[in-house]
Chains A and B, each alone.
Chain A
Amino acid sequence: AQSVTQLGSHVSVSEGALVLLRCNYSSSVPPYLFWYVQYPNQGLQLLLKYTTGATLVKGINGFEAEFKKSETSFHLTKPSAHMSDAAEYFCAAGSSGSARQLTFGSGTQLTVLP
């Protein structure tokens, strides 16, 4: 079974600074990897996904993530934080394309300081 670790339950950055949210997974098979964003009292919205192919994945709102197999990592980045990026971010991993087998990390709350 997959396990997903998000380092840092809370991350604070200044507006305009680099955003880096960390995600590591454990898997013996090539993973399917996702980042979701959740605004207060709302559902999760897909930011980006990695299945196969290019290891640098671009998503919505200027976010991107890089799949590094040797490090079993899928960190989320954005070059310049905006106040509207303040939300909770979840990394998820699965060993197949089936949502049934998806494991979520515990989430990282991003605060953007003016």
Chain B
Amino acid sequence: DGGITQSPKYLFRKEGQNVTLSCEQNLNHDAMYWYRQDPGQGLRLIYYSQIVNDFQKGDIAEGYSVSREKKESFPLTVTSAQKNPTAFYLCASSQEHSPLHFGNGTRLTVT
């Protein structure tokens, strides 16, 4: 079955450490996205990539970084510069003008 795999499902880190969240898709979609979800809020766009080796900042990119070296993969690094990193992170993909297809998320807790 085609889909998006996010790993790990739960991640715990100490404050001051960088951490990388994995996102892999086998849907052959060109575009990939990272969203952050906090309780009582909608999804906020962190970064997106429409083609390999290119990505753009979303609405809340500060403290995050991404890479898109392969079509299938779009890892997100949460850096120590992110002031409130504890959240649920969702990766998504889409083809042009098609709805988003989401992974099952990674819950990051930083203490």
Residues of A within 8 A of B (CB): 4, 9, 34, 36, 41-46, 49, 90, 92, 96-100, 102-107
Contacts and interface: CB of A to CB of B under 8 A. Distances in A.
Nearest to B97: A97
Nearest to B101: A46
Task: Report whether over half of chain A's contact residues are helix, strand or loop; otherwise say mixed.
Answer: mixed
A97 B96 contact: yes
A98 B97 contact: yes
Task: Report whether over half of chain B's contact residues are helix, strand or loop; otherwise say mixed.
Answer: strand
Contact of A44 (B6, B44, B96, B102): B102
B40 A41 contact: no
Contacts of A92: 42
A41 to B, nearest CB: 7
Name the 4 nearest CB pairs between A and B, nearest first: A97-B97, A43-B102, A104-B42, A104-B43
Contact of A106 (B41, B48, B97, B105): B41
Given A41-B107, A43-B105, A44-B90, A99 B99 contact: yes
A99 B4 contact: no
Given A97-B96, A98-B96, A98-B97, A45 B40 contact: no
Interface in B66-111: 88, 90, 92, 94, 96-105, 107
Interface residues of B, number: 29
B105 A90 contact: no
Contacts of A98: 96-97
Interface string B38-80: 0011111100101000001000000000000000000000000
A107 B96 contact: no
B9 interface: yes
B100 A102 contact: yes
A41 B9 contact: yes
Contacts of A96: 97
B31 A106 contact: no
A99 B91 CA distance: 13
A47 B105 CA distance: 18
